[in-house]
Amino acid sequence: MTIDTEPALSASFTEALEKFRAAIGAEHVATDLPTRQEFADPYSPLEWTDYVPPAVLQPASTEEVQAIVRIANEHGVELWVNSQGRNNGYGGSAPRNPGAIVVNLRRMNRILEVNEEFSYVVVEPGVSFNELYDYLQKHGHRLWADCPDIGWGSVIGNALEHGFGYTVNGDRANSVCGMQVVLPDGELLRTGMGAMTDNPSWHLSKRGFGPMVDSLFMQSNYGIVTQAGIWCMPQPETYLTGWVTIEDDEHLPALLDAVRPLMIDRTIPNYPSVFTASGALAVVGKRRDFYDGEGPIPFEVSKAIVAQIPNLGMWNMRFALYGRENTVDAQFENIKEALSVVPGITVTGTKMRGDALDVSALDQSGKVQAGIPDMEMLNTSDWVGGAKGGHIGFSTVLPLTGRDGRRIIDLVRPASEEAGFDYIGGFLLRERSMMHVTLMVYDTADEPAAARARDLCGDLVTTTAKLGYGEYRCHPSNMDTVAGTFDYNDHAMLRFYERLKDAVDPNGILAAGKQGIWPQRLRQTR
Amino acid sequence: MTIDTEPALSASFTEALEKFRAAIGAEHVATDLPTRQEFADPYSPLEWTDYVPPAVLQPASTEEVQAIVRIANEHGVELWVNSQGRNNGYGGSAPRNPGAIVVNLRRMNRILEVNEEFSYVVVEPGVSFNELYDYLQKHGHRLWADCPDIGWGSVIGNALEHGFGYTVNGDRANSVCGMQVVLPDGELLRTGMGAMTDNPSWHLSKRGFGPMVDSLFMQSNYGIVTQAGIWCMPQPETYLTGWVTIEDDEHLPALLDAVRPLMIDRTIPNYPSVFTASGALAVVGKRRDFYDGEGPIPFEVSKAIVAQIPNLGMWNMRFALYGRENTVDAQFENIKEALSVVPGITVTGTKMRGDALDVSALDQSGKVQAGIPDMEMLNTSDWVGGAKGGHIGFSTVLPLTGRDGRRIIDLVRPASEEAGFDYIGGFLLRERSMMHVTLMVYDTADEPAAARARDLCGDLVTTTAKLGYGEYRCHPSNMDTVAGTFDYNDHAMLRFYERLKDAVDPNGILAAGKQGIWPQRLRQTR
């Protein structure tokens, strides 16, 4: 493949670019190759140009976003919108459809309100988790905002993509309360109680009068969210970060089954993660620090490595408790008792006062479960070493049971190893379900490895669907494949999505193909 | 007014009725006046025919619902669908638009699944709270399903109307997980993970791939939900039902402000209610038992009545705790400490083992907070006595603060009393907001009183909107008025609702005017 350094632009496209420059300032309309590559899939080998956009726009306000969509409608150009565009394991900023202009909202980075009385913030989509955390710290706010493992992403963007975090507000889509949205025709909408001018409950009560439409603007191409309320936690009196290890892989199912009742009744109030030793090791080191053989690290070698490292099991789980010290102590006691049925388990906890966290004494889990973002986990992409690390994420939704956990591992681990990848996997636990997340890590300079990773993800979509499991999110290259697995009643859901798409975006200018939803003019007959 | 005993039916309408009879059985297509009146507004005086439907259909299956909507599209007849149709304070089964045929789903009353491993049930819309409770009891299931104060309503229907209950799953719309929906054109949709055939996470994980559309089928006219998963609580080891009284009306704001932090951090994990002495009295007695004067009970008389009744304050709050005994005890201790700042407050609790509830020792609050429905609160409608009690509900969403609580009472209480009604009000508390609910109770044989109640509700919509507050739900007679108060950006939300309506129901056969959403052919220019 050759790099498309100067895309052939139609007259209408060129004219649209001129109007974009007039609307948001020429300096915020980029067509140079380095910028275009920056907003392509960052984990694609440089030779691959399938997700390099022809231009990048960076508006600074809701009004500029409205101007952009109006121009796009006039000229029939396609837009692909993201907030930070940093979810690199799922393609970063890369547009699904070649030719779509990237609209990146990093410049819309205002923190519009911090409300301690009601524990929420209102932010624009360019605000990152890091920025929000720093702001709350700097101003001494007693609020903990949920954050992911890697703090550079957008607070709003991640919630819109159904991202999960690790505090009590870890179900981020469910922690959004009250949005402002630019529709594909430029119309401005406020959702929930915000649909009434100056209603004081906009960010307090999720529903207005009539159907709640907020979720329509998540994982979709129906509108551009330009601000939203995000519920946070009040700083608790006491914080406990818990750590669980099990010695043997074979007891993972017992752990998952023992945790389920604690999740359903919220004895564990946050969203815990369960991960392999390799997942923990990849945060703090590189593969070669532990093993220098060819091919995936053999299972027995993993066991030997784990045996030498204190506080590390073949599987590890983190969880957290928050509140008055008496309730935290009681919950911790109940959790230890409930988990004691799992063979070879250890359960430990580090307890601190919420108003006097010793951050230096917290490990990565202790930090993110207190809403303290960092960038440490970005190391994972460099696990295999090489010129520039990359990975693709593969994420499957499962019932929270040991049986389902075992099934997915027995499918994904051998498939990964067969394709030459160490199995770096884990489970993000929710009330009744879990997400199995696995990363295929490669050096982006190693084109065959990158190709194997992408192919593996595609294959796994199909094989997991045969077991009845679906993905919650994916790389653009897999969106149609995943959408295709949601097949009930001849893909009734996708056909419903398409009907909504045609109603809200008749010209099909916004994020064509996102989540497999194409506008009428680009739709293939199934 | 005269009763429309024999509505003039068009030829197409008559033909449609014939087809309905063929599709669902002639005995389930009623056009007789008693049945039509049964499915009209039950709290309208008999002389009022504005909400009497021309016919009532009662299908027994999803397939029959599909057949009905297809016939309606063919013949251009309008349908108004409800599940039980028993929310009498909001018009019961009554269609918003005269001429719409009522489709009532009481015959679809199967409990399709009870899952103790994951604490959920799957039900059809005809299943009432009473029936679900009885079923769980009869089969010894250790599951507590959320219920409202009056148990005859539909589990699904109430959730779809954004109803609130009193257990940890009291945010009922948020406790729905996975729906089956008949679209207005007869197409069958399964939402979330159910969009993939046989996905085991359909009722475990709320989102699928792409935007979540479940909330579109709540408080809307976009589809007919024919089954849904409903999350329940596992039976807790320990249950505590809490009761709070305050002596003086003036300290209500202090109570609301003291409760707020306990709601935000979920020290109180359920959805408490705060209500007036009159609200409590109306459950157990009639007005004449306490006062026989004309006009609203004077404030000083209320105070004297309250002073004579043990465990009753001018304001009262119920709440509940669930879990292991050690956590329940710790939470209760923290709640008592936090509320002790309110002057003249008492906080008591009754603790029981979850597997050995002594139901006879529980008052109405103790029951509903454990998911035990009854019909006692129906007494409220007979507060004023007379031939047949009735009421209209008026429900406003507010920030959970003492200031906002005081403001709404100072508006609604004098307005109610001026119109001749005792103020029977209360607050349903949520994490950050509350609903102020008030009932205008009258004798339905007293036409002027009924008219005053309806007018008062309409007036209050406008006056509360001037303070920036919106209603969450209302009687059909007020739907357009309430929708009109959601006015941001020239009613952008309503215009968006209309756009969706035209896309999913182009012929406008389903529930025209519900929540102010009209199909194109009936839309008035604003």
Whole-angstrom Cα distance, residue A478 to residue A395? 12
- Determine the angle formed by the axes of helices A447-466 and A402-418, rounding to 10 degrees: 150
Measure Cα distances from A399 to A65, A281, B113, B211 in Å. Answer: 40, 27, 16, 20
Do B225 and B300 belong to one domain? no
Contact A487 B331 (CB under 8 A): no
Q: Enumerate the residues of chain B whose CB falls inside 8 A of the CB of residue A494.
A: 195, 210
Residue A7: predicted pLDDT? 55
Task: Give residue A3's pLDDT band: very low, low, confident or very high (50, 70, 90).
Answer: very low
Q: Are residues A294 and A346 in the same domain?
A: yes
Average pLDDT, chain A: 94
Task: Classify residue B263: in a domain, yes or no.
Answer: yes
pLDDT at A5: 46
pLDDT band at A47 (very low <50, low <70, confident <90, very high): confident
CA B324 to each of CA A101, A332, B36, B82, B320: distance values in angstroms, whole numbers, following the listed order? 55, 12, 50, 39, 13
Which tokens is B207 given? 């989102």
DSSP strand E in B74-162: where?
79-82, 101-104, 111-115, 120-123, 143-144
Kindly tell me if the per-residue pLDDT of A155 is higher than 80. yes
Where does residue B387 rank: exposed (0-12), middle (13-18), buried (19+ CB within 10 A)?
exposed
Q: Is B407 a known active-site residue?
A: no
Q: Is A261 close to B174, i.e. CB distance below 8 A?
A: no
Q: Which of B55, B77, B104 corresponds to the end of one domain? A: B104
The verdict on a CB contact (< 8 Å) between A468 and B217 is no
Token reading at A298: 């053999």
Select from A261, A489, A517 the Cβ nearest to the Cβ of B210: A517
Provide the ipTM.
0.96
Cβ-Cβ contacts under 8 Å, B407 against chain A: none
Is B327 close to A183, i.e. CB distance below 8 A?
no
pLDDT > 70 fraction of chain B, expressed in percent and rounded: 98
- pLDDT band at residue B9, thresholds of 50, 70 and 90? low
Contact A210 B471 (CB under 8 A): no
Counted domains in chain A: 4
A211/B189 CB distance under 8 A: no
Predicted pLDDT of residue B284: 74
pLDDT in tens, A395-447: 999 999 999 999 999 999 999 999 999 898 999 999 999 999 998 999 999 99
pLDDT bucket at B381, cuts 50 / 70 / 90 = confident
| Contact between chains at A472 and B331 (C-beta distance less than 8 A) | no
Same domain, A129 and A222: yes
Nearest residue, CB atoms, A264 vs list B234, B261, B497: B234
Boundary residue ending a domain (B234, B256, B289): B234
- Check residues B87 and B71 and name the one with the higher pLDDT: B71
Segment among A291-300, A437-446, B78-87 with least mean pLDDT: A291-300
Does residue B255 have a pLDDT over 50? yes
Q: Whose CA is closest to A167, among A140, A191, A132?
A: A132
Contact B141, B116 (CB under 8 A): yes
pLDDT at residue A198, rounded to an integer: 96
Domain that holds residue B504: 486-525
* pLDDT at position A336 over 80: yes
Residue A47 domain flag = yes
Which of A211, A234, A257 terminates a domain? The answer is A234
Residue B418: helix, strand or coil by DSSP?
helix
Give which of B230, B493, B520 to mutate to test A binding, by max A Cβ within 10 Å. B493
- Average confidence (pLDDT) over A306-324: 94
Q: Predicted confidence band at B8 (pLDDT cuts at 50, 70, 90)?
A: low
B450 is a domain residue: yes
What's the mean per-residue pLDDT of chain B? 94
Classify residue B447: in a domain, yes or no.
yes
H or E, element range at B345: strand B345-353
Contact A489 B260 (CB under 8 A): no
Low-confidence winner among A80-94, B41-55, B86-100, B270-284 (lowest mean pLDDT)? B270-284
Q: Is residue B194 part of a domain?
A: yes
Chain A nearest-CA distance from B181, in A, is 11
Find chain A residues with C-beta within 8 A of B183's C-beta.
496
Q: Tell me what pLDDT residue B228 has.
A: 98
CATH number at residue B97: 3.30.43.10
Same domain, A99 and A49: yes
Residue A496 is nearest to which of B213, B233, B234, comparing CB atoms? B213
The beta-carbon neighbor of B234 closest among A204, A205, A261 is A261
Catalytic residue among B36, B51, B86, B90: B90
In this structure, are residues B233 and A265 in contact, taking their beta carbons and an 8 Å threshold? yes
> Which residues of B fall within a CB distance of 8 Å from A117?
260, 401
Pair (B246, B295) in one structural domain: yes
Write out pLDDT tens, residues A194-227: 999 999 999 999 999 999 999 999 999 999 999 9
Residue in B closest to A160 by C-alpha: B211
CA distance A407 to chain B (A): 13
Rounded to two decimals, the pTM is: 0.96
Same domain, A242 and A183: no
Contact B265 A201 (CB under 8 A): no
Contacts A401 to B, Cβ<8 Å: 117
More confident position, A230 or B50: A230
| A200·B173 Cβ contact <8 A | no
A279 and A415 in one domain?
Answer: yes
Å from B13 to nearest chain A CA? Answer: 29
Q: Are residues A383 and A268 in the same domain?
A: yes
Residue in chain A nearest B328 by alpha carbon: A327
Enzyme catalytic residues of A: 90, 472-473
Could you tell me if A96 and A177 lie in one domain?
A: no
Domain assignment present for B448: yes
My answer on whether A349 and A204 are in the same domain is: no
B390 bridge partner residues: B442
Residue B491's CATH number:
1.10.45.10
How close, in Å, is residue A388 to chain B by CA atoms? 30
Instruction: Tell me how many degrees the CA angle B344-B347-B348 measures, rounded to the nearest 5.
Output: 140
Which CATH number fits the domain that encloses residue B132? 3.30.465.10
Whether residue B332 lies inside any domain: the answer is yes
Query: Do residues A312 and A325 share a domain?
Result: yes
In the chain, the amino acid numbered A46 is L
Are A512 and A100 within 8 A, CB to CB? yes
The answer to whether A215 contacts B217, with C-beta atoms less than 8 Å apart, is no
- Chain A residues near residue B161 by CB distance under 8 angstroms: none
Q: Closest to B199 (Cβ–Cβ): which among A400, A468, A515?
A: A468
Sheet holding B188-190, edge to edge: B111-115, B120-123, B224-231, B176-182, B188-190
A6 domain residue, yes or no: no
- Please name the member of B174, B265, B487 whose beta carbon is closest to the beta carbon of A196: B487
- Whether residues A413 and A345 fall in one domain: yes
pLDDT, mean of residues B402-430: 95
CB contacts of A516 in chain B (<8 Å) are: 209-210
Verify whether residue B110 is a known catalytic residue.
no
Contact B211 A215 (CB under 8 A): yes
What is the rounded distance in angstroms from the CA atom of residue A306 to the CA atom of residue A295?
19
* Residue of chain B whose alpha carbon sits nearest to that of A183: B496
